[in-house]
């Protein structure tokens, strides 16, 4: 009897093509919408990881292990070159950059500004720190040059300094002695915000070492090709860094960013639930409408002797076929759509209002979706799940059909 009901179900589906197509299209549209939403949701992780890495934090950072407890800029890595090499050796790493920091007083004449000066590697730094990718005036540091300084516009203004001016930097060395060095301003960065400007102040790593007397680098920042590998890479790297050094992830370094991401995800998952519910409602009501109209048909079947449970099975099979068809269409239509979303992304620049300044935000306001094999599983689950759930009531309804209905002419 199973084979018969399957054949009947198949033929029923095939016979009323319009109803079938309508159902499949309805299911497919719902699934694609839910899929789009889910892809966006998964893509948010990428957004926040990008924010973290573009801001200079990096996906991972090798730090002295005492730095966790007390974030003192005077701390240095136990063996920064070994750590650097270890980072470069890990597969999946997009860029590695070493830095050292110091609390420094910059002075031009009587104008003074206290800043946190960063000693960086000029050839790699722009890849991990967004704000020095586009210098407003002058140029960025060049590998191999000494005595050059790049600063935010707010710093230059407070110092009353212009390009090529000489600036005295003073700091306190390891033995408490005061040390100074001369730098000339080669580039000015304009981030659009005074506070952010004050955080941009860079010289070459070697220059900072010479100025402070603290040897080596204090941090090695790592940007990965795939942000999802953060924890895996951390586990691996922890084994190979020098003793006395530790590896921290973006979440640990910037719990703020991580927190916002989690909160946003939590609420958007809730919203995804809403969309799925809506899809389910749509599919269910359409299916139910279809079934309700087939009372005569079911009555005839009942009159012919089909049992209730077999009727249920029939409906379920039809649902599965419709769901499967809907899933196929959804995958066919959804894959290219999500692929485009993952590669081109949604660019919100135009919608952000006139006051939006390109460099004022930490990351490009482009949201990339996620693309992967999960799509097939997700769509199938939604389509089949929705149609099966949707077929529960219709199945029960069909099973209860009174054969006498078949004998009536009017409804």
> Is the Cβ–Cβ distance between 279 and 33 less than 8 Å?
yes
Q: Which of 336, 263, 309 has its CA nearest to residue 44?
A: 263
SS3 per-residue string spanning 174-234? CCCCEEEEEEEEEEEECCCCHHHHHCCEEEEHHHHHHHHCCCCCCEEEEEECCHHHHHHHH
297-356 residues in contact with another protein (CB under 8 A) are: 346, 348, 351-353, 355-356
The answer to the question of residue 105 lying near another protein (CB under 8 A) is yes
The answer to the question of residue 166 lying near another protein (CB under 8 A) is yes
The answer to the question of residue 405 lying near another protein (CB under 8 A) is no
> Is the Cβ–Cβ distance between 291 and 315 less than 8 Å?
yes
Distance CA 321, CA 324 (A): 5
Half-sphere exposure of 258 (CA within 13 A, CB side): 10
The answer to the question of residue 283 lying near another protein (CB under 8 A) is yes
Question: Considering only residues 9, 13, 33, 253, which one is a binding residue for another protein as defined by CB under 8 A?
Answer: 33
Judged by CB under 8 A, the stretch of 173-181, 224-232, 308-316, 372-380 that binds another protein is 173-181
Question: Considering only residues 68, 139, 232, 262, which one is a binding residue for another protein as defined by CB under 8 A?
Answer: 262
Q: Residues touching another protein: how many (CB under 8 A)?
A: 97
Q: Is 167 exposed, middle or buried (0-12, 13-18, 19+ CB in 10 A)?
A: buried
The answer to the question of residue 193 lying near another protein (CB under 8 A) is yes
224-243 residues in contact with another protein (CB under 8 A) are: none
Distance CA 349, CA 352 (A): 6
The answer to the question of residue 45 lying near another protein (CB under 8 A) is no
Question: Considering only residues 274, 377, 381, 404, which one is a binding residue for another protein as defined by CB under 8 A?
Answer: 274
For another protein, give the closer residue by CB, 94 or 271: 271
| Nearest distance, CB of residue 181 and another protein, angstroms | 6
Residues 106-125, one symbol each (x = binds another protein by CB under 8 A, - = not), give: -xxxxxx-x-----------
| Nearest distance, CB of residue 65 and another protein, angstroms | 16
Distance CA 47, CA 53 (A): 10
Question: Considering only residues 5, 12, 13, 40, which one is a binding residue for another protein as defined by CB under 8 A?
Answer: 40
The answer to the question of residue 165 lying near another protein (CB under 8 A) is yes
């Amino acid at each position: 009897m199973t084979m018969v009901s399957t054949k009947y179900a198949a033929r029923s589906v095939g016979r009323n093509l319009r109803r079938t197509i309508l159902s499949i299209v309805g299911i497919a549209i719902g699934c694609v919408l839910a899929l789009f939403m889910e892809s966006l949701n998964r893509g948010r992780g990428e957004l926040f990881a990008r924010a973290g890495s573009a801001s200079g934090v990096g996906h991972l950072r090798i730090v002295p292990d005492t730095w966790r407890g007390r974030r003192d800029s005077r701390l240095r890595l136990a063996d920064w070159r070994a750590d650097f090499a270890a980072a470069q050796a890990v597969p999946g790493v997009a860029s590695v950059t070493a830095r050292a920091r110091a609390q420094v007083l910059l002075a031009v004449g009587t104008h003074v500004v206290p800043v946190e000066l960063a000693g960086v590697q000029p050839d790699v730094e722009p890849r991990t720190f967004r704000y020095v990718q586009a210098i407003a005036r002058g140029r960025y540091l060049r590998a191999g040059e000494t005595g050059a300084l790049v600063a935010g516009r707010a710093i230059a203004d407070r110092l009353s300094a212009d390009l090529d001016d000489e600036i005295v930097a003073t700091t306190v060395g390891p033995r408490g002695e005061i040390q100074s060095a001369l730098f000339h301003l080669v580039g000015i960065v304009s981030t659009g915000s005074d506070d952010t400007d004050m955080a941009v102040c860079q010289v070459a790593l070697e220059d900072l070492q010479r100025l402070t007397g603290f040897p080596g680098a204090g941090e090695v920042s790592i940007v990965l090709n795939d942000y999802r590998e953060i924890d895996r890479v951390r586990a691996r790297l922890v084994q190979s860094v020098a003793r006395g050094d530790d590896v921290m992830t973006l979440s640990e370094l910037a719990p703020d960013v991580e927190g916002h991401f989690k909160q946003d995800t939590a609420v958007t998952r809730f919203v995804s639930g809403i969309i799925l519910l809506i899809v389910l409602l749509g599919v269910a009501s359409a299916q139910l409408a279809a079934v309700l109209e087939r009372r005569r048909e079911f009555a005839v079947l009942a009159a012919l002797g089909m049992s209730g449970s077999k009727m249920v099975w029939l409906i379920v099979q039809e649902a599965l076929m419709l769901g499967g068809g809907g899933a196929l269409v959804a995958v066919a239509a959804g894959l290219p759509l999500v692929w485009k979303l993952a590669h081109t992304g949604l660019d919100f620049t135009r919608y952000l209002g006139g006051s939006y300044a390109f460099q004022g935000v930490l990351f490009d306001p482009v949201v990339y979706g996620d693309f992967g094999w999960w799509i097939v599983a997700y769509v199938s689950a939604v389509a089949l799940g929705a149609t099966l759930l949707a077929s529960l009531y219709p199945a029960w309804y069909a099973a209860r059909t009174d054969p006498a209905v078949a004998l009536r002419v009017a409804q």
